[in-house]
């Protein structure tokens, strides 16, 4: 039977998100969700917005939300773009700024959605190999390129770059867009947002999924100079005029405003992460230094894939990537202290039984 | 200053949605929103879903919603794709099924987003001219094409095609995808959903924005054979794994289930539409025969653009398209009876003062 697909579709290898079991039988440490509930103000705002005005289209300009994000970063609203999660913002950015006739660069070990975007939007890419210690050799990035994208901190390693290294890159790389994916910036690394007004080629992308406990609301954004933002607006308005519904707009607004909630929950996660990292090292694990809400770990004897399966049998989901250089690592999201104690307990059992 | 855009972006002429004033000073008859509130069950389900589980990603498969849509149409869940409004589903369909090396076809007067999708996804297109009476000469559509797309009923005319004409087209046009955009199907025309199992090249796209009073929730879907649906899934999973948030999934589910609410509100709109059409004809307007929740009207003496401005001055927004063949028409969405009485009253005043 004929498939009727645009030939492009045959070559796509879509992104596969971490397992999302729809029952509640697992402790989910596999998709970097925040273990704490979103701000009560967010939930209240959504309930209030669940009214008969849902019959009307949302504000296509997302004015209130943009204003709040601009104010949070000390920028102007014209420097803000909002979208349906950072994944959509990333996709639109690939389409807006990366010319298929040039070659873009990203790390060889990074967010595995980047090569998927490159495939669907026909971008050529080269990967920049991480060093053996999984740090990004940012000084070696060639300055002739069609664009650069990397997360800070990187995923799935959790390792962050200091701001001075990012600024060095921006000083040398002036002719193409540099996208910094700050999905995990709330958990200890320094944001490059203070460089926005100095470097017109800098675009920073964020999501409320992890930092604001709103993976289920689909709220992401980009900040950059207003001409970059205009490019994103053109893409969005050529695909879907309204990518955020009235509920996401209402909830996202309160999330950005409740900085105290963000600070409290991030601090708890950082503290749990550092405690768990120390325990894992005691148990013989190598743990990469993480500024994210997850740990990237390996063990010299226990194989990662088997450990993943053992943990799943015991009701704990973590993330295993069957990919070069990282197929003996596990990415473990930071849950509550109770969840992580149970995780450590099970890990200890598995180690002892070997 | 360099714009850093992919050259494609320079050539985009993004879709401009109807005005969405964020105050409540206007009677909005300009974007085909449903004047009646969504089902109370929808609002209740959203409030219930505004809970701490928003910290978790939504179901990327949208299983429950797909099951309900499948059941509503008597299809299997593998024949259903859901997306962030029908605009997103349309965009993904252009990318999934229309090969840029071929030429697609759509009416010269139709949903003005189609040429925008064609521009961003680099599709060549030819337009099929409507007859002088604004009907679509579906029998004249050339069967050598890279795809066909049209709304039924058409927008902004409101004129629908009988099912037999659509089936005739499908019998002759077997080598490319035929997309029927049923955004306005709830208001009187016959759906082609019963042809899905007979024609593997048929894709039907729907939205809950108008029919289910949920423009603010962003819920659209496509139905077709499972290989077409797999094509759409590949596109979506290469752009954004989660395009519907937890609240839209919960609300959309109840909307599809509450068929009684749909039936009641659609009947009211149809009855108001037919009454208003008759009155407008009495006032000397030409009113195209509409199976949609809007009327497309013109007057031999009063100029459409001036009428639009006069109505706006009087607090009533309607839609004027400054485009060939329709720049002396207005599209008037059907509001409540009270709103339409006010509209008729103002129109009468304007007519009398000339």
Averaged pLDDT for residues B54-62: 96
Asked if residue B241 has pLDDT above 80, the reply is yes
Are residues B225 and B79 in contact, defined by beta-carbon separation less than 8 angstroms? Answer: yes
- Rounded-to-integer distance, Cα A114 and Cα A125, Å: 10
Residue A50 has pLDDT above 90, yes or no: yes
Residues in contact with B324: Cβ distance below 8 Å, sequence separation at least 6, in sequence order: B108
pLDDT category of residue B273 using cuts at 50, 70 and 90: very high
Q: Which of A12, A96, A243 sits opposite B84 (nearest CB)?
A: A243
Pair B320, B173 in one domain:
no
Q: Chain A residue closest to B24 (CA)?
A: A53
Identify the CA nearest to B169 among candidates B205, B125, B199, B213.
B199
Under a CB-based contact definition with an 8 Å cutoff, are residues B331 and B311 in contact?
no
Q: Percent of chain A having pLDDT more than 70? A: 99
Has residue B1 been placed in a domain? no
A4: left (phi over 0), alpha (psi -120 to 50) or beta: left
pLDDT of B22 over the 80 cut: no
Residue B353 pLDDT? 84
Nearest to A5 among B1, B96, B214 (CB): B96
- Residue A1 within any structural domain of the chain: no
Contact A37/B55 with Cβ under 8 angstroms? yes
Same domain, B332 and B342: yes
Report pLDDT for A150.
98
Nearest CB partner across the interface for B201, out of A4, A233, A244? A4
Partners of residue A202 on adjacent β-strands:
A178
pLDDT band at A80 (very low <50, low <70, confident <90, very high): very high
Q: How far apart are CA A207 and CA A199, in angstroms?
A: 22
Structural domain of residue A239, as residue ranges?
40-258
What is residue B113's predicted lDDT score, i.e. its pLDDT? 97
The pLDDT value recorded for residue B25 is 81
Whether residue B28 sits in one domain with residue B46: no
Inter-chain contact A242–B57, Cβ cutoff 8 Å? no
Does A17 map to a domain?
yes
- Residues in a beta bridge with B20: none
Whether residues A252 and A299 fall in one domain: no
Last residue of a domain, one of A258, A275, A291: A258
- A97 CB neighbours in chain B (<8 A) are 4-6
Per DSSP bridges, beta strands A319-320 and A329-333 are antiparallel
Inter-chain residue contact A200 with B1, CB threshold 8 Å: yes
CA–CA separation, B249 and B240 (whole Å): 16
pLDDT exceeds cutoff 90 at B288:
yes
Which of residues B203, B230, B258 is at a domain's end?
Answer: B258
Q: Given this model, what pLDDT does residue A281 score?
A: 97
Of the partner residues B22, B46, B88, the one whose CB lies closest to the CB of residue A59: B22
pLDDT of residue B190: 98
DSSP symbols for A125-178: EEEEPPPTTS---GGGS-S-SS-EEEESS-TTT-----HHHHHHHHHH--SS-E
Residues A271 and A213 placed together within one structural domain of the fold: no
Compare all CA atoms of chain A with the CA of B245 and give the residue at the minimum distance.
A217
Strands A178-181 and A202-207: parallel
**Dist. CA B187–CA B130, nearest whole Å:** 22
What confidence score (pLDDT) does residue A21 get?
A: 81
Residue A274: inside a domain: yes
Per-residue confidence at B275, pLDDT binned at 50, 70, 90? very high
Using the predicted structure, report yes or no on whether residue A354 has a pLDDT greater than 80. no
Look up the ipTM and state it: 0.96
Nearest to A89 by CA among A62, A67, A50: A62
Looking at the fold, whether A33 and A54 belong to one and the same domain comes out as no
Can you give the pLDDT at residue A259? 98
Is B24 found in the same domain as B52?
no
Regarding whether B139 and B118 lie in a shared domain, the answer is: yes
Specify which residues A298 forms β-bridges with: A286, A329
What is the model's pLDDT at position A172? 95
Specify whether the CB–CB gap between B125 and B155 falls below 8 A: no
Contact A97 B5 (CB under 8 A): yes
Answer yes or no: is pLDDT of A24 > 80.
Answer: no
CATH number at residue A200: 3.40.640.10
pLDDT band at A68 (very low <50, low <70, confident <90, very high): very high
Our CA-based measurement puts residue A207 at a distance from the nearest CA of chain B, in whole angstroms, of: 12
Is the same domain home to B25 and B80?
no
Say if residue A235 is in the same domain as residue A273: no
Confidence of residue B19 (pLDDT cuts 50, 70, 90): confident
Which SS3 state, helix, strand or coil, does residue A15 take? Answer: coil
pLDDT of residue B177: 98
Query: Sorting pLDDT into bands at 50, 70 and 90, what band is B2?
Result: confident
Of A28, A56, A97, the CB nearest to B215: A56
Which SS3 state, helix, strand or coil, does residue A224 take?
Answer: strand
B168 within a domain of the structure (yes/no) = yes
- B329-333 and B294-299 as β-strands: parallel, antiparallel, unpaired? antiparallel
Q: Could you tell me if residue B119 is inside a domain?
A: yes
Instruction: Decide if B238 and A116 are in contact by the 8 Å CB cutoff.
Output: yes
- Give the residue from chain A lying closest to B210, CA to CA: A55
CATH of the domain at A300: 3.90.1150.10
Interchain proximity B234–A117, CB inside 8 Å:
no
Which positions in chain A touch B210 (Cβ < 8 Å)? none
- In chain B, whose CA is at the least distance from the CA of A27? B56
Q: Does A2 fall in a domain?
A: no
Average pLDDT estimate for B150-173 = 97
Q: In what order do the strands lie in the sheet with A319-320?
A: A285-287, A294-299, A329-333, A319-320
Mutation test of the interface with chain A: which of B8, B54, B120, choosing the one with the most A Cβ atoms within 10 A?
A: B54
Give chain A's radius of gyration (CA, Å): 20
Give the model's confidence band at B195: pLDDT under 50 very low, under 70 low, under 90 confident, else very high: very high
Phi and psi based region of residue A137 (left: phi greater than 0; alpha: psi -120 to 50; beta: remaining): beta
Q: What is the pLDDT of residue B72?
A: 98
Considering only residues A279 and B21, tell me which one the structure prediction assigns the higher pLDDT.
A279
Contact between A119 and B238 using a beta-carbon 8 Å cutoff: yes
What total of structural domains would you count in chain B?
2
Predicted confidence (pLDDT) per residue in A160-174, tens digit: 999 999 999 999 999
Cα–Cα distance, B54 to B47 (Å, whole number) = 12
- Which one of A242, A250, A317, A333 would you mutate to disrupt binding with B, by most B Cβ within 10 Å of its Cβ? A242
Is residue B194 one of the residues assigned to a domain? yes
Q: Quick check: B188 pLDDT over 90?
A: yes
Shared domain check, A243 and A267: no
Best of A1, A14, A32, A247 to disrupt the B interface (most B CBs within 10 Å) is: A247
Among the candidates A209, A228, A258, a domain finishes at A258
Q: Give the residue from chain A lying closest to B21, CA to CA.
A: A59
- Write the pLDDT tens digit of every residue in B95-148: 999 999 999 999 999 999 999 999 999 999 999 999 999 999 999 998 899 999
Q: What is the pLDDT of residue B351?
A: 87
Q: What is the model's pLDDT at position B210?
A: 98
Chain B residues whose CB is inside 8 A of the A235 CB are 9, 12, 120
d(CA B66, CA B216): 20
Q: Is B32 helix (H, G, I), strand (E, B) or coil?
A: coil
Same domain, A115 and A155: yes
| Residue numbers in A near B5 (CB within 8 A) | 96-97, 231
Q: What is the mean pLDDT of chain B?
A: 96
Which pLDDT score, from 0 to 100, does residue B236 have? 97
pLDDT at A195: 98
Chain A residue numbers with beta carbons less than 8 Å from the beta carbon of B245 are 84, 216-218, 245, 247-248
């Amino acid at each position: 039977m004929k498939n009727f697909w645009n030939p492009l579709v045959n070559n796509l290898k879509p992104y596969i998100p971490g397992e999302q079991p729809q029952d509640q039988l697992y402790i989910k440490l596999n998709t970097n969700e925040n273990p704490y509930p979103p701000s009560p103000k967010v939930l209240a705002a959504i309930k209030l917005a669940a009214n008969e005005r849902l019959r009307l289209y949302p504000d296509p300009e997302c004015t209130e939300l943009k204003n709040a994000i601009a104010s949070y970063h000390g920028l102007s609203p014209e420097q803000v773009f909002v979208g349906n999660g950072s994944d959509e913002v990333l996709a639109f950015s690939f389409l807006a700024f990366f010319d298929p006739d040039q070659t873009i660069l990203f790390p060889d070990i990074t967010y595995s959605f980047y090569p998927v975007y490159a495939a669907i939007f026909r971008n050529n890419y080269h990967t920049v190999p991480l060093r053996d210690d999984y740090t990004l050799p940012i000084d070696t990035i060639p300055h002739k390129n069609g664009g650069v994208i990397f997360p800070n901190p990187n995923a799935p390693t959790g390792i962050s770059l200091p701001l001075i290294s990012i600024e060095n890159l921006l000083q040398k790389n002036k002719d193409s867009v540099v996208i910094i994916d700050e999905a995990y910036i709330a958990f200890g690394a320094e944001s490059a947002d203070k460089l926005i007004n100095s470097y017109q080629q800098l675009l920073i992308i964020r999501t409320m999924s992890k930092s604001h406990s709103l993976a289920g609301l689909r709220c992401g954004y980009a900040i950059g100079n207003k001409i970059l933002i205009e490019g994103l607006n053109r893409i969005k308005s050529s695909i879907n005029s309204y990518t955020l519904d009235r509920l996401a707009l209402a909830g996202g607004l309160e999330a950005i405003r409740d900085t105290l909630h963000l600070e409290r929950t991030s601090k708890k996660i950082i503290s749990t992460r550092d405690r768990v990292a120390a325990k894992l090292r005691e148990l013989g694990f190598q743990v990469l230094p993480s500024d994210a809400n997850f740990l990237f770990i390996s063990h010299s004897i226990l194989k990662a894939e088997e450990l993943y399966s053992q943990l799943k049998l015991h009701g704990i989901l973590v993330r295993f990537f069957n990919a070069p250089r990282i197929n003996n690592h596990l990415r473990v999201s930071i849950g509550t202290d109770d969840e992580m104690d149970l995780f450590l307990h099970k890990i200890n059992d598995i180690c002892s039984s070997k």
